[in-house]
Every structure is written in structure tokens, then in C-alpha cells.
Amino acid sequence: MPHCDLLIEGVTLIPSAFEPPVTDARIAIAQGRFVAAEAGMTADRRLNLAGHLAVPGLINTHLHSALVMVRGTAEDMGFAPSYTKGVPQAQMLTPMEAVALARLGALEALLGGCTLINDVYVHARHTMPAIADLGLHVWGCNRLHDVDFDAVLEGSWEHSQAIGAAMLEEAEEMIARFHGQPRMGIQLAPHAPDTCSTPYLEQLRDLALRHDLGLQTHLCQSPAELKRVAEREGCTPVELLARLGMLHDRLVAAHCIHVTEADIAALGAARVHVAHIPKNNAASGRYAPTRALKDAGARITLATDNRHGDMVEAMRWGLCMGRIQTGRVEDSWQPEHMLHAATEAGAAAMGLGAELGRVAPGMLADLTIINLARPHLVPHNDPLGTLVHTGQGRDVSHVIVGGEVLVEDGRPTRCDMAEVMRDGAAAAAAVWARATG
Ligand SMILES: [Zn+2]
């Protein structure tokens, strides 16, 4: 008699972004991977999820989970928190505060259906294992720069070998400890072309090559970054990375807002993965030219960056911001393209395209399951269209990673949600008190 660990029945399944929904589907999982659901199959556990929609696990390719500490405030101050005076800064956090905040942000992401987050911030040697305890895949790195961020807040970009070397040492320790551990990995993260000197970027490029790691960075995020790189190097940030051999198909470039036509062509030709952050960019009055980037060959993934972790929102904003760019509704920019960006394209950006992003025998068993029995999701004649246009992350009822149920009926199974919220709120209060005197 065929047997599996977990058998999900009755669910509507979208196996991958461009496949039609399968109603009354059966999903079988054994030893952490999807297997063929055979007739008469027995299971250690059965879940009847009639009235629910299952999609491949959502992948957030660019997140600073601890930055939930500035949600509801930094959005209205004009720019990214690391460049904004008057809000708590990364360098103010103790390791324990970073852990408490990162767990809060990561729990929000998990409850909203994320099965993998690519998380970069300070104290990552402490936050990554603390996030991993929640059970989702956590990839990431410490924030790597050699600029003095306290000086940047005063408008001065001063690079320090000592700052850069300390960050590099932490990154090397993280590679040794975490890369290749179950559900963990390192993608080396130079903060941005303006906050890393060119010699430092070269060091990070070489470290990535030495350990066969992918890279991620903020790229063309702001006029300030463009001005600084132009003054320093006489070129655009994209041109600088190309010159250094860092513009390639193992680079995840977050934002890509302020790009020239030549930059777009170069990003496309290099098949760079763009971490598109539509909601936060829109809140700052900006957008990335995703349609032109995609047409040029760049690969669009989705992310939330900071202050929130709702990837269903990201899909909706990505869809709408793309349509604003052409002024039309087109077959080439539909809900399935957003689901692709949030699943298969995200997996490819993390170098995990052979293991994640689709529901198929042999793939790692990651699933995001949405309860459709909510007034704003009825009717759902096209369940994906309904999810992208009117759904929310909080409609996610179950999250499964590697066959393990991490969220059940909207509740986390590995942690005490009240405790995570209490610890996160206390850490935020402490750092806000120090930041504002
Ligand atoms: Zn960011």
C-alpha cells in the first residue's frame, strides 16, 4: 500500500504559476518532498482543506525583517530607513534587540505565506538561527559596507577599512556556520554601490567567487546613490558593477528604480534577478521600470524590503505598478506573472530553481494555503485573480515548509505568537527611546 507522511485533500491547487487550477486536488508529501498522490494511499496525517487554495510557497527575495521597528513612520519620511535621520538605525541595535525584531518580522512573513525569506541586516550571526527556529527557509547575510552610516546620515560618505574588515569577518563566519545547513544559506550582500568603496566591492566579489555564492545588493535605489557613484567613479552604479564583473545571473539587485536605458539593457543582457519592491517604492513616490526590465531580459522577483512582509500585497502592487507603466492591461502582465515572480522566479534568484517554486514530485514540499471562505474572496471563479486583486497575507491559513506544517489555521506551530510580539514591541520601544532621546 503506498504511504506518505502528509496527504492534503479537497484543496484547489495551482501547481505552478502558469498552470490552471486543479480542483479537489490531492497533494502527497513524504520525507519533505512532494510525491505522486496514488490511489489508496495511506498517510500518517491527512488534512482536508476543501474551500482552500494552495500555491507554491511564496519567496521574498529582499527583506530586512528587523526593520519592522520603523513601520508606520519611515514610509512617510521620504527614503530608506538607513539614510533617514530621526528613526532608529541598524547600528543602534543590540544583538538581542535585533533578534527580537527579526523574529517579529519573520513571523509576520511566515504567517503571510512566505516559505523563504532572503534577510539581510545587522547582527545576522544571531538573527539567522533565531529566524530559522520558526521553520521557514532563511537565506541572508550581514549588511556589508565600509561606509560609516552615522556619517551618511549627516550627508558624508566616508569609507573605513576597519568597518569593512569587521563586516567581512562576520560574513566569513556566517558562511562557515550556516551555508548549506538545512533550510539556510548565504547570499553575500554588499549594501549598495555608494556605501561600499570599489576596493571593498572587489573584495566581496572575490569572496563570493571563492565560496561559489550568489550576490545581492541595493542598486539604483536613489538619486543620492547615483550622485555619489558618479562623483566617485564617473559612471552609473550598473556600469560600476559591470566593470567589476558583478553584473551576472547570480546577482539579485533590489529596487533598480533610477536606471538609464543603457542600464536596463545591461541588466537584461546579464539576466540579473531584480528584487522588485513595488509597495515600498510607491510609498516613496517611485517605481522600477519593471516592464522594460523584463522585456530586456531581466528576471523579475518580488520582495517587501522592510516595514511589512505581505507578499500578497507585493503581488497586487507589482501587477498594478506594471500596468501604470504602459497604461494598459496586457496578456503579458497578469496575476500569473506576479505569482511566477513570487515563486519560481524567486527560487531561481536564490539558486534553488531545481528544488523550489513548483508543486511537483521531487520538489521540496513548500506550500502556501489560503482560506477562501472569507467575504472578500467570494466568489472565486478565478482563484488566482481573486487572491491577487482582493486577497491579503492574513488570509493564509496554512504554511508548509519541507513537509512540516509551520502555520495551521493561521497560528504558528513552532513559537508563541504573543511572546514574539511582546519581545519585538519591547525591543522597538527601547531602540526608539534611545534614538529620540
Ligand atoms: Zn533593502
Ligand 1 centroid to residue 277 C-alpha, Å: 9
Ligand 1: distance of its center to the CA of 359 in Å?
29
Task: Give residue 187 CA to ligand 1 midpoint distance, Å.
Answer: 14
The CA–CA distances, whole Å, from 354 to 5, 309, 350 equal 22, 25, 11
CB neighbours of 44 closer than 8 A, spacing ≥ 6?
3, 4, 5, 6
Quick check: 35 and 361 in contact, CB under 8 A?
Answer: yes
CA of 153 to the centre of ligand 1 (A): 16
What the chain holds in terms of domains, given with CATH numbers, is 3-55+361-412 (2.30.40.10), 57-349 (3.20.20.140)
Instruction: Return the pLDDT at 379.
Output: 97
Q: Which residues contact 83 (CB under 8 A, 6 or more apart)?
A: 152, 153, 222, 224
Rounded CA-CA distance 102/107 in Å is 8
d(CA 11, CA 295): 35
Report how far ligand 1's centroid is from the alpha carbon of 336 (Å): 25
Q: Could you read off the pLDDT tens digit of each residue along the chain, which spans 437 residues? A: 899 999 999 999 999 999 999 999 999 999 999 999 999 999 999 999 999 999 999 999 999 999 999 898 877 777 777 777 778 888 899 999 999 999 999 999 999 999 999 999 999 999 999 999 999 999 999 999 999 988 888 888 899 999 999 999 999 999 999 999 999 999 999 999 999 999 999 999 999 999 999 999 999 999 999 999 999 999 999 999 999 999 999 999 999 999 999 999 999 999 999 999 999 999 999 999 999 999 999 999 999 998 889 999 999 999 999 999 999 999 999 999 999 999 999 999 999 999 999 999 999 999 999 999 999 999 999 999 999 999 999 999 999 999 999 999 999 999 999 999 999 999 999 999 998 87
Q: 340 CA distance to ligand 1 centroid (A)? A: 21
Give residue 380 CA to ligand 1 midpoint distance, Å. 34
So what's the pLDDT on residue 243? 98
Three-state SS at 195: coil
- Under 8 Å between Cβ of 218 and 182: no
Rounded Cα distance, 33 and 370, in Å? 20
The CA 62 to ligand 1 mean position distance, Å, reads 6
- 253 C-alpha vs ligand 1 centroid, how far in Å? 10
- Between the CA of 373 and the centroid of ligand 1 the distance, in Å, is 35
d(CA 334, CA 57): 19
Q: Give pLDDT, residue 17.
A: 98
Q: How far is the CA of 254 from the centre of ligand 1 (A)?
A: 7
